[in-house]
Amino acid sequence: MTAAGARAIAVRCDVTVDGDPERAVAAARERFGVVDVVVANAGFGVVGPVALLTLDDYRRQFETNVFGVLRTVYAALPDVRRRRGRIAIIGSVSGHIATPGSSPYAMSKFAVRALAEALGHELFRSGVSVTLVSPGFVASEIRRVDNEGVLRDHTRDTVPKFLIMPTDRAARQIVRAIARRRREVVVTGHGKFFVFVHRHAPWFTSAVIRTFGVRSRGEPKR
């Protein structure tokens, strides 16, 4: 595919399947010759109170959001190291602040935040940068995917529209942060605000969550 002078290929890849990310990287290498940047973006959200969830719910969440990220990193790391390139890991504001009913998703995003921090230290001397991307509400399908990872097209997005950043605007911010080799970028104004407040006054965000009953989104209906 070509558009605006750029070239792209689409390769089917399931990050929960061993070997799939390697095949995707090999296809990119064959088509373009080199791999300079890798973005570990695949993810979805399992939601619900801990008492109503099962260990399998948590395993399913981590298989995509954590081990899927690791498979992607392992697949591309040799190429990126040779090119002194860039790795971007898509986290979330939920990787900084956990709300009731969001423990599987928040746990997975806390985990990849730790991975990005550790990996950044490990790869610093090799010239590879690691950027953690922590989005707030961005226009996407994630809020219409149920706990099994199935897209429910008819589900209405309950997040107020004024809080949702358009995808293209978010993408520009992410690309700019990766190009500048930033350690982390928090995408969306409300995301920046809540991450800042929670870092400096965690007692305040806890009080707000408990006082106003702030909760995660509900699971899309089957």
Q: Which residues contact 222 (CB under 8 A, 6 or more apart)?
A: 146, 152
Q: Which residues contact 202 (CB under 8 A, 6 or more apart)?
A: none
Question: In whole angstroms, how far apart are CA 103 and each of 24, 91, 185?
Answer: 31, 14, 23
149 in Cβ contact with 64 (< 8 Å): yes
Sort strands 86-90 and 37-40 into parallel, antiparallel or unpaired: parallel
Location of structure tokens 């990849």: 112
Which of 105, 110, 137, 194 is catalytic? The answer is 105
Six-digit token pair at 128?
A: 């590879």
Question: In whole angstroms, how far apart are CA 172 and each of 66, 135, 178, 203?
Answer: 25, 13, 10, 33
Six-digit token pair at 41?
A: 């973006």
Cα atoms in the Cβ-side hemisphere of radius 13 Å centred on 12: 0
58 is catalytic: no
Query: Strands, DSSP E only, in the chain?
Result: 2-3, 6-7, 37-40, 86-90, 129-135, 184-187
Question: Which sequence positions are flagged as catalytic?
Answer: 105
